[in-house]
Structure 1
Amino acid sequence: MLYRLTLYLIALFAQLSAVSADPVTAIALHGTPKEPSGFTHFSYVDPRAPKGGRLTLGAYGSFDSVNPLIVKGTPVTGVRDFTIESLMARGLDEPFTLYGLIADTIDVAEDGSSVSFHLNPKAHFSDGRPITADDVIFSLELLRDKGRPNHRTYFSKVAKSERLSDHDVRFTLDAAGDREIPLIIGLMPVLPKHATNPYSFDETSMMAPVGSGPYRIGKVDAGRSLTYVRDPNYWGRDLPVNRGRFNFDEIRFDYYREGSAMFDAFKTGQIDLWPEEDPRRWANGYDFPAIHDGRAVKREFDIGIPAGMTALVFNTRRPVFADPRVREALIYLFDFEWINRTLFAGLYRRTESYFQRSILASPGHPADDHERQLLAPFPDAVKPAIMEGTYRFPTTDGSGRSRENQEHAFKLLQEAGYELKRGRLIQKDTGRALEFEILAVSTAQSALLLSFARDVERLGISVDVRVVDSSQYQQRLTNYDYDMIQNTWSSSLSPGNEQLFRWSAQSAKVPGTYNFAGVQNPAVDAMIDALLAAKSEQDFVSAVRALDRTLLSGDYVIPLFYIPTQWVAFWTRLHHPEKTPLFGYNVDSWWATDKK
């Protein structure tokens, strides 16, 4: 009896010691939340913004599903933003901080072994049914088993789910050292158990989902347009995280097959807002009446998050790019200076880090002691110049011909076993020519891709640029059926579990991840583990920089460029708050002054 009592007390003490002192209404991954307890609205919104009107936005391509949480199909834009809510809401003026939404408090065990949520008793779905702990557990288990690979990866770290009451749920974690997982669970989309069929969930569907967000899906024109309509009974409209947001009565997405057609629609007022990504057009393409008479304007918005990595991506699963010397040679053949000057009005800047434009970027910083300690088990994982922070990508004089870079590239290709025969590079051992295909989804990419193709063809390399429609592109992307693509991995000041989805060896083997390069590198995996386990801000920065160095040293991509600010053109019937958050402009805080 005494023995059993002792065991019970030990277990009880362990359980109590694993619980934090008090549940909190906001949580930051590092440091403390910016907004004080009892805040009334975010600092980057206007709580007096009027409600009403319609916002029409453009989207590229098409869609065949309204479910963005599965691998199959091409989902419509906006479902996660406007219809399906998360347990908590992210503050956009901080690296990674969550505030109460469906869950009004979060309670993370001091040792990170569990996370508990108390649900707001007022929270309900659009059909009026209350949101309960059963819905939360159902959502996690469904996304873990049938969701996108990132959700499967994240939520597989939950060892046990417990319904403590109608409004209380606890998740026990099997990755107690992963400090981000409690926050990742806080961002989990919550689905209604009573209105979601788990057996057909992973199949594409055009049936509007039942959500708890500020908008319902209204009119759907399959593949062409979709309209979100404000829910007059939205339960969370007066929460601090929502005041000043979701101001339009309707938000419509119109789909276009070509970027030029979509821009023409903006010029004639069919689309209200145009985020510009083409420097040539930003410099010279806004000569139309609405700009001249002030009905439409151009604006540059500051942005405080990293620029991320936009690049031409080598699929290292393919034999043609298995040899890193071939990849490095092609990096030397990319003439950024000439392309930027002739194609992009000189407005781009060269990307040199996966976390460009932030303190997390490794270039210019020699590895500190903690980085070197992390990288010590992998002595060949980082190139010496990258370890010292002195490496820079090859440059040219912008003339379009760099003999020095071509000679260096040819030397690397010779080391990889290639020789020049009758104007073509041939692998001596196999007799195969060095040739590859660049897969593209837009003709707007053609100028860049064809310029690069011409540069490498001078060295006897054959390149085929192939443009396919959006559905075929998505299918080939999902199955890694390409040699090279152009891709952008966005970034934040709090990189975490999404890095597993992009770079881990495990994700390289699973269809539908963002590991488009096929990275399978033990050093990369170890650096991701280190950043997930980092407890101090300095250790976190060191781990992210170490990851940056391993990725750069692997020559998995040809880094391209980034825009120093956000370029946005819009019709002046739209208005935005004075302050721009860290994440840049955000249309859910904008409003209209007429009833379009």
Structure 2
Amino acid sequence: MAGQSLRRFGKLSTFCGLALALSAGATGAEPQHGLAMYGEPELPADFTALPYVRPDAPKGGAIVTGEGGSFDSLNPFIQKGNAPWQLRFLMAESLMAQAFSEPFTLYCLLCETVETDPARSWVEFTLRPEARFSDGSPVTVEDVMWSYEVLGTEGHGRYAALWDQIETMEQTGERSVKFTFNTENRELPLLVALRPILKKAYWDDKDFTQSGVTNVPVSSAPYVVSAVDPGMFLELSRNPDYWGKDLPLMRGQANFDTIRFEYFADASLVIEAFKAGALNAHREFNIQSWEDQYDFPAAARGDVVKSVIPHQRPTGMTGFAMNTRQPQFSDWRVRQAMIEMFNFDYVNEVQTGGQQSRITSYYSNSPLGMRPGPAEGKVADLLAPYRDQLLPDTLEGYEFPTSSGRELDRGAMRRALGLMEEAGWTVENGRMVNASGAPFTFEIVLEVNDDENQSIVDTYVQALRQVGIEPRISVVDAAQYTQRINTFDFGMTPVRYGLSLSPGNEQYAYFGQTAANTPGSRNIAGIDDPVVDALIAKMLDAEDRETATAATRALDRVLTAGRYAIPLYAWNESFDAHVKELHYPEPLPLYGDWILWRETTWYWED
């Protein structure tokens, strides 16, 4: 076969040249069983199971959970259509899989070994000879290469950025494929390893970009779609011939015979279905409901169990983002005034009975979070070059204000009025105006049926009126909401950033300058700060966890002191209610109740 390689947007071809295979070995890289973002994998090559599973877990039973909304597609890898989010993780395997007992470590799944150079400028995988799709056909290098090209050029937008950073992709042996990068980024080998691998032949006579529920893509994963009724339910069954069931990595996983997702047009009906016994597991997101709504007969009898699952993931940021692209929010003093006027303690009492803690920074609840007080050590050293560009309290240590807990907090009002005056706004005839007499106002955009945030906003607006500010509240349907957010047509809106224990390139998408004015980006607040970009770069360039942690703590200080969002509740625990026959293994993973943890590691035992 000709010595060719696949380049970006080029034609798919393969390469089996011995010279390239030998040159890869000449770099000093050696085949490994795993790959960690920093340092070495914790588990040895001969590990027998992941530490957070029960290796001898019984097989059988079903887990049935509820989802609000509907779906019209079974292809989660394309932009078109609305596919159940779980299919992205249940329908296809990747070359490697993440161990959630470590911040960011991958172990070989479809691949037998992985190799990379010290600079991580390339990565090479050798496939397991036993790897199979659900139809019994082998997973080949051709399938791997086709998957990367079609995902990068025709798939969901989430795959495009990585594809653009792959300079070449080439077959280096019968079961080996090598990726060489055009960008210096130590995370890229791990990102490549996590892309879903699809069966090329299945799509030969189909349009990959079209959604629908008539075609069920062939999978190499433990489960296959077995029954579907759009708008009603999706059911997956465990494949008894799953190729990887004896792999140490998969031991104690994929224990249920059936995974079923029931759909409800009204999301509030999910808990009612659980109470009625139509579901056997339910994740609760309201602590007041957790305390008040689980006294139904099955729970009283002990047939339903309430489990509180702690984790060490960063809190991320859940709250209300202020759009700094709009002139009224470009001044940090105004943003601080908006934060002062948000009476969290009162809101918390009304919404949760005062039981919920508050987010203190973007990475709080984790080792990556900024430490109280002045910056010290490596964190201080990283911030020192930018001292003149930093907002107040970045180096000293920023804390979100506390309130009296009373509905009207006069201390917060005084602080807010003082900050607004410094920024050029004063109250005249009961209205907050600038020197030209123009009123200070903004639009809060909410999605329809977002009842909790609507209630919180109503309380917040009542407080703002006390200082002469009258925001407009717009409640729009899902399509309009998406369009408004994608075009940054709002003053304030709910935001949620879920951050990991190993933050990577997605930080640019959340907080980077390029994303600030890119329509559709996740940089909702419009953060446009070169210091943020510089610290993300230092975090990504770090070659050890200590340096990466220091860079993330410095970034956390800059983001938090930026006053870009009004933070709400810190979810440092998950609340899972389930029938007593459903059990979870211990010890718990570092990530706690993370993506499909219930579906992949729980088991049924009477």
TM-score of the superposed pair, with normalisation by structure 2 = 0.89
Ranges in structure 2 where 5+ consecutive residues have no aligned partner:
1-18
1:504-558 C-alpha deviation (Å, 9 max, x unpaired): 2223344443222222221111111111110122211111011112211222111
Q: Which residue of 1 aligns with 2:556?
A: 548
Q: Which residue of 202, 205, 211 maps to 1:195? A: 202
Q: Which residue of 1 aligns with 2:455?
A: 447
Matched, 1:278 2:286: yes
Shift in Å, 1:584 = 0.9
Q: Write out aligned runs for 1:448-463 (5 A).
A: 448-463=456-471
Q: Which residue of 2 aligns with 1:437?
A: 444
Change in 2 beyond 3 A, CA 1:468/1:266: farther
Matched, 1:398 2:410: no
Shift in Å, 1:139 = 2.4
Letter in 1 for 2:297: P
SS of alignment partner, residue 570 of structure 1: strand
Q: Write out aligned runs for 1:87-486 (5 A).
A: 87-176=95-184, 178-196=185-203, 201-206=208-213, 207-364=215-372, 366-389=374-397, 391-429=398-436, 431=438, 433-441=440-448, 442-486=450-494
* 8 A contact 2:442–2:492 mirrored in 1: no
Matched, 1:74 2:82: yes
* 8 A contact 2:315–2:364 mirrored in 1: yes
* 8 A contact 2:417–2:426 mirrored in 1: no
Letter in 2 for 1:268: A
1:148-203 C-alpha deviation (Å, 9 max, x unpaired): 44432233222111111342111111223x22111111111112223347995455
Whole-Å separation in 2 of the counterparts to 1:429 and 1:316: 21
Shift in Å, 1:119 = 1.0
1:5-29 C-alpha deviation (Å, 9 max, x unpaired): xxxxxx9999558734311011211
Letter in 2 for 1:223: G
SS of alignment partner, residue 62 of structure 1: coil
Q: Which residue of 1 aligns with 2:584?
A: 576
* 8 A contact 2:442–2:491 mirrored in 1: no
1:65-89 C-alpha deviation (Å, 9 max, x unpaired): 3333344443313112211111101
* 8 A contact 1:439–1:467 mirrored in 2: yes
Letter in 2 for 1:189: P
Worse-matched range after superposition: 87-96 or 69-78? 69-78
Whole-Å separation in 2 of the counterparts to 1:235 and 1:483: 52
Q: Which residue of 548, 567, 590 maps to 2:602? A: 590
Whole-Å separation in 2 of the counterparts to 1:549 and 1:74: 37
Letter in 1 for 2:368: L
Q: CA-atom RMSD, angstroms?
A: 2.7
Whole-Å separation in 1 of the counterparts to 2:54 and 2:183: 40
Change in 2 beyond 3 A, CA 1:450/1:160: same
* 8 A contact 1:301–1:566 mirrored in 2: yes
Change in 2 beyond 3 A, CA 1:438/1:576: same
Q: Which residue of 1 aligns with 2:11?
A: none
Whole-Å separation in 1 of the counterparts to 2:353 and 2:472: 26
Q: Which residue of 2 aligns with 1:63?
A: 71
* 8 A contact 2:432–2:440 mirrored in 1: yes
Shift in Å, 1:488 = 2.2
Shift in Å, 1:490 = 1.6
Q: Which residue of 536, 547, 553 maps to 1:539? A: 547
Letter in 1 for 2:84: V
Q: Which residue of 2 aligns with 1:500?
A: 508
Matched, 1:520 2:528: yes
SS of alignment partner, residue 523 of structure 2: coil
Worse-matched range after superposition: 185-194 or 83-92? 185-194
Shift in Å, 1:292 = 0.6
SS of alignment partner, residue 471 of structure 2: strand
Whole-Å separation in 1 of the counterparts to 2:386 and 2:203: 47
Whole-Å separation in 2 of the counterparts to 1:367 and 1:514: 28
* 8 A contact 1:30–1:537 mirrored in 2: yes
Change in 2 beyond 3 A, CA 1:556/1:150: farther
* 8 A contact 2:322–2:493 mirrored in 1: yes
Whole-Å separation in 1 of the counterparts to 2:487 and 2:238: 37
* 8 A contact 1:505–1:525 mirrored in 2: yes
SS of alignment partner, residue 80 of structure 1: helix
Ranges in structure 1 where 5+ consecutive residues have no aligned partner:
1-10
Shift in Å, 1:113 = 1.4
Whole-Å separation in 2 of the counterparts to 1:190 and 1:511: 30
Whole-Å separation in 1 of the counterparts to 2:165 and 2:420: 43
Letter in 1 for 2:225: I
Whole-Å separation in 2 of the counterparts to 1:411 and 1:52: 64
* 8 A contact 1:443–1:467 mirrored in 2: no
Identity %, equivalent residues: 38
1:76-121 C-alpha deviation (Å, 9 max, x unpaired): 1311221111110111111111111011211011222111111112
Whole-Å separation in 2 of the counterparts to 1:552 and 1:530: 18
Shift in Å, 1:401 = 1.8
Whole-Å separation in 1 of the counterparts to 2:67 and 2:516: 29
Q: Which residue of 2 aligns with 1:3?
A: none
* 8 A contact 2:334–2:423 mirrored in 1: yes
Shift in Å, 1:298 = 0.9
Worse-matched range after superposition: 27-36 or 503-512? 503-512
Whole-Å separation in 2 of the counterparts to 1:47 and 1:291: 29
SS of alignment partner, residue 139 of structure 1: helix
Q: Which residue of 1 aligns with 2:7?
A: none
Aligned residues: 582
Whole-Å separation in 1 of the counterparts to 2:257 and 2:126: 30
Whole-Å separation in 2 of the counterparts to 1:482 and 1:193: 43
Letter in 2 for 1:567: F
Worse-matched range after superposition: 149-158 or 557-566? 149-158
Matched, 1:85 2:68: no
Change in 2 beyond 3 A, CA 1:327/1:45: same
SS of alignment partner, residue 240 of structure 2: coil
* 8 A contact 1:25–1:105 mirrored in 2: yes
Shift in Å, 1:354 = 0.8
Change in 2 beyond 3 A, CA 1:81/1:512: same
Q: Which residue of 2 aligns with 1:8?
A: none
Change in 2 beyond 3 A, CA 1:383/1:321: closer
Change in 2 beyond 3 A, CA 1:72/1:317: farther
